Amino acid sequence: MVERHGRVDGKVAIVTGAGSTPGPGMATGRATAIVLAREGAHVLVADIRPDRAEETRQIIQDEGGSAAVFIGDLTISADCEAMVRATVSEFGTVDILVNNIAAAMAGNVVDTSSNDFDRILNVSLRTTFLACKCAVPVMAAKGSGAIVNIGSIAAFRGGNYIGYATAKGGMHALTIDMAYSHGRQGIRVNAIAPGHLTTPMLFSNEGQTPETDFRQQLARASGLLGTEGTGWDVAWAATFLASEEARWITGVTLPVDAGVMAVTPLMMAPHVRTIPALDP
């Protein structure tokens, strides 16, 4: 039996990028869709891959939740408009929007091509802009709504992902400006900055496992808690920000990172176990 608390009971939520790359663990979009459904929301599962979206919908349905699927390319304005129309047609309104689509590739400003930079910004930032552009009027018409943008600590700390970092930095700026512009319409806009999560995407290359993948080991070692973060951690944070429990919170970026942003990279180097005392 799935425990339910009704945090978003009766609300209608859109979760973009709600499918999942095949592999061990739970992706943030899928986890968020599942948790919102467990907490009572009707969820539109939006993804570009029909098979992955349907898997998420089936999980929700098997648990007794309410979900529908929308397939589209949310870099295209018409598809975003169609997504919101489909949500209103299926469930009557839009109360919650979780923007979770992203693309990333390693590279600095010199070795990243302009085409790759544009593609990453289109996937990781333009989709958020367009989804908000289409959903906000529905929320504003009824005087309430909650938007949660899934950003990244990459916006605040270097890591040789220039396109991804730029897109996520833009997402956090968009969050603040939207909170300013739409607060008096009853719309709260917040963001989450996940840290080094263990998700299926980490193991998408053949031969990688949770035991051998270096990035997964780093995810555990880099945080203050010494434990792994998963898609579920982001999902619960997103559900909180979307709920009435966060009714007086807007314009905020919430780190979900086991404290990574609280320390310098040097102090969290994997080989560091203790901090030597300083002589007076």
Residue 182: its H or E element: helix 162-182
In sequence order, what DSSP letters do the residues of 52-64 get, joined into one string? Answer: HHHHHHHHHHHTT
Paired tokens of 56: 């998420």
Which of these is catalytic: 70, 129, 164, 203? 164
Length of the chain as a residue count: 280
Query: How far is residue 194 from each of residues 50, 58, 209, 238, measured CA to CA in Å?
Result: 26, 26, 21, 11
Contact 125, 115 (CB under 8 A): no
Mark residue 155 as left, alpha or beta (left: phi above 0; alpha: psi -120 to 50; beta: remaining): alpha
In sequence order, what DSSP letters do the residues of 41-86 get, joined into one string? Answer: -EEEEEES-HHHHHHHHHHHHHTT-EEEEEE--TTSHHHHHHHHHH
Catalytic residue at 180? no
How many other C-beta atoms are found inside a 10 Å radius of the C-beta of residue 238?
A: 31
Which residues participate in catalysis according to the annotation? 164
